[in-house]
Amino acid sequence: MEPKERAARSAISRIQDGQVLGFGTGSTVQYALEALAERIRDEDLRVLGVPTSLQTQRECQRLKIPLTTLEEHPSLHLAFDGADQVDDDLQCIKGYGGALLREKIVAAAAQRLLIMVDDSKLSPRLNKPVPVEVMPFGMGVAQTFLQKLGRPVLRSKDGDTYWTDNGNPVIDVDLGTIADPAEAARQLDAIPGVVGHGLFIDLTTELHVGTATSVRIIEREPV
Ligand code: 5RP
């Protein structure tokens, strides 16, 4: 079994009948949705979930996983998602799949956030570029501010500007090794035109790490 699938199956085993869930986005979440669909089918598990992207929404519809919205359920029992990098304090960089804004809203709405990764995503300190979603109107201004913090690069796809499901571009900012992720998050939040960024601070309550042969679970009290 792939390490990502091992992590995903471990997280899905935590879900209980009757829960309202948040569904992240990405290849690890894909494994998780397939495992959840199996449990719905085999155990008659009754759950509802809020998807964080059109991609996840389509997959849920294909797998016959019932969906809901944050309007109907503003508080979620649990959300599960992947991550691009996780440090020793379970702070994460997310958003390489572009769903960072909705993922953070869903994570904040959830009582517990289960992050599922393979062990290649672990790093003692965060040091990968941080995705920053900006309003098109404020893109130039945001870029000027971001240059003061690090090296911003406008994300592109197939030679054109990349657009999120929310109709916004993403600027990936290399901040080097991030000594204080909470402070970096505050600095990014303070930039006009930034609507969201991929630093997920104090949100993870369970980390499921898959390796080639095993899975490790690290738990944290919600902050
Ligand atoms: C999408 C994300 C994903 O969770 C992150 O990119 C990890 O993806 P994958 O599971 O494919 O490695 O943040 O916005």
The predicted-structure confidence for 81-128, as pLDDT tens digits, reads as follows 999 999 999 999 999 999 999 999 999 999 999 999 999 999 999 999
CB neighbours of residue 38 within 10 Å: 14
Of 51, 45, 53, the residue nearest 22 (C-alpha): 51
pTM, whole model, 2 decimals? 0.96
pLDDT of residue 101: 98
Rg (CA), the chain: 17
For ligand 1, mutation pick of 4, 27, 52, 208 (most atoms within 8 Å of CB): 27
Which protein residue's CA is at the shortest distance from atom 1 of ligand 1?
97
* Maximum separation of any 2 CA atoms in the chain, in Å: 53
By annotation, the residues acting in catalysis are 103
Question: For the packed helices 3-12 and 27-43, what is the interaxial angle rounded to 10 degrees?
Answer: 40
Cβ(83) – ligand 1 distance below 6 Å: yes
Torsion sign (Cα): 36, 38, 41, 43: negative
* Atom 8 (ligand 1) nearest CA: 26
H or E stretch covering 147: helix 139-149
223: pLDDT strictly greater than 90: no
Q: Which residue blocks in the chain are alpha helix, DSSP H?
A: 3-12, 27-43, 54-63, 100-109, 139-149, 181-189
Cα within 13 Å of Cα(126), Cβ side:
29
Computed over every residue of the chain, the mean pLDDT equals: 97
Q: What is the distance in A from the centroid of ligand 1 to the CA of 22?
A: 14
Asked if 195 and 141 count as a contact pair (C-beta separation under 8 A), the reply is no
Contact indicator for 150, 144 with CB cutoff of 8 Å: no
Amino acid sitting at position 166: N
Residue type, 158: D
Mean pLDDT (whole number) for 159-188: 98
**Residue 31: is its pLDDT beyond 90?**
yes
How many CA atoms does the CB half-sphere of 13 hold within 13 Å?
Answer: 10
Distance between Cα 57 and ligand 1 center (Å): 15
d(CA 87, CA 173): 18
Q: Is 181 in the pocket of ligand 1 (CB under 6 A)?
A: no
Query: How confident is residue 222, by pLDDT bands cut at 50, 70 and 90?
Result: confident
Q: How far is the CA of 68 from the centre of ligand 1 (A)?
A: 22
Structure tokens at 28: 């690890």
